[in-house]
Amino acid sequence: MGLDIKQIDAIVEKIVTRLSQSEPSLSSGIKTGDGIFQNIDEAVRATHHAQRDLVEGTSIEKRKEIIEVIRKVARDNAKEWAQIELMEAEMGRFEDKVKKIIASSMVPGMEDLQTVAYSGDRGMTIIERAPYGVIGSINPITNAIPTILFNNIMMIAGGNAVVHNPHPRAKISSARAIQAFNQAIQSVGGPPNLTTAIVEPTIESAQALMKHPLVKLLVVTGGHGVIHAAQQSGKKVIAGGPGNPPAIVDETADLEKAARFIVEGASFENDTPCASEKEIIAVESVADELKVQLKRNGAYEINAHQLDQLVSKVFREVRGPGKAGLINYDYIGKDAGVLLGLIGVKGAEDVKIVFAETDRHHPLVWTEQSMPLLPFVRVKDAEEAMDLAIEVEQGFGHTIVIHSMDMERLSRMSKRVEAAVLVKNGSSLAGVGVAGEGFISFHIATGAEGHTCPTLFTRPRRCCMVDFFRLK
């Protein structure tokens, strides 16, 4: 069952109130030990040894205990880790980072792994979920500590161990989390180095991790380049690629709810999650009222001239109408107030998202901008809205959001889209299990697998006993 966003808010409030108000520091840097190594080969070999110990020398009950202590140490350190990640990566929102850490601690564990048994005249066969071994995880800057957290839980639940290659601009916060996890695991009698990384992660270290013979599975979050590199390794790859989720609002939608949910999803972590709403597509007859409702929920509309000014700053390269451009890295995940400040709008610290009406060919419509700046496209009817949404999603296979009370239309949209997630009448957060039903998962594998879970990080193994153990 999914967790309501209000429940997470309540947990976050307790944590922020309970913990010390002192600011964490990045000045101490990274030291080796407790899962941190100088190079990839050292890390992989230590992790391989830990994984064999987990499978051959550690009981299932102990593994469950390891999973629970990982959850606990994450919750206990949520505020400090959120602060460190924000200080280092310089993107996103502190409160949302705390929420992501809390939510990520609630992903499925060993309960997700199911054994299947068959019995008959010729005996009994069981099929169990077995580990891959050492998993290499290439992690994004936009979700540094939560990625380490939920991958640790799900991968270790499956009997694996994991070597992380964090983004270089999140290496300190990532290392601190990994060291805390290792200390906690060992405190309950688990093997050291079940989760590891290196002091200086780079593109080269990621490539070395992909090619290492002891790494059996790669789990990658990133753009087309890093995914392609992983796929060239010859190993199995579970990849969470880019997304450009449109939010459709048709003439039957509850406009107040639609606006509230769009702002909720697009403002979360300043629109850095790949699953968050990236453009608004509204039917002409309700477009103006939708704008009113967006503004009531914390959105700020800018005009065409202001948008041109902003695009000149937040885009590193504009490649023409109907084409994705390149975003200026300096503005990814920045607050809406910061973006408005670039065009001279002051006193907008409470603004959650910025939006501007554009035509369908504007580069902002086609670019995963990863900041709370959304294009608002007006279309004549729902059919055009659905057609455009499918087009701007660009076949990424990620997420589409639709607000409509027309059940036939919602059903038809379900059959038309190929995205891993279709959210109906909610925010994109519902699609990851927050504020919606289903297990929590912030990693959506866009190749075919969808939301990751412990079962996905295992392989089926068949064990047969011939002629015996039939009980029926």
Same domain, 456 and 428: no
Same domain, 455 and 394: no
* Residue 159 shares a structural domain with residue 135: yes
Same domain (yes/no): 274, 164: no
Strand-pair partners of 162: 135, 195
Q: What average pLDDT does the structure give for the chain?
A: 94
Measure the CA–CA gap between 346 and 66, rounded to whole angstroms: 49
* In-domain check, residue 469: no
So what's the pLDDT on residue 467? Answer: 86
Q: Is the pLDDT assigned to residue 354 strictly greater than 70?
A: yes
180 and 270 co-located in one domain: no
> Given this model, what pLDDT does residue 242 score?
92
Q: What is the mean pLDDT of residues 376-387?
A: 98
Q: Choose between 27 and 123: higher pLDDT.
A: 123
Helix 94-104 vs helix 78-89: crossing angle, to nearest 10: 130
470 has pLDDT over 90: no
Assess if residue 471 is contained within a domain. no
Residues 36 and 176 in one domain: yes
Say which CATH number the domain at 55 has: 3.40.605.10
pLDDT of residue 245: 98
Predicted confidence (pLDDT) at residue 24 exceeds the cutoff of 90: no
Regarding whether 307 and 229 lie in a shared domain, the answer is no
172 with 211, same domain: the answer is yes
Q: Is the pLDDT of residue 1 over 50?
A: no
Indicate the pTM of the whole model.
0.92
Domain that holds residue 348: 246-443
Q: What is the CATH number of the domain that holds 312?
A: 3.40.309.10
Does 197 lie in the same domain as 53? yes
Domains in the chain, number:
2
Domain check: are 226 and 259 in the same one?
no
Tell me the pLDDT band of 343, cut-offs 50, 70 and 90.
very high
Q: What is the DSSP letter of 110?
A: G
Beta-ladder partners of 135: 162, 217
Per-residue b or e along 131-167, where b marks 16 or more CB atoms closer than 10 Å to that residue's CB: bbbbbbbbbbbbbbbbbbbbbbbbbbbbbbbbbbbbb
CB 158 within 8 A of CB 458: yes
pLDDT at 275 (0 to 100): 95
**pLDDT value of position 134:** 99
Q: Name the residue with higher pLDDT: 9 or 161.
A: 161
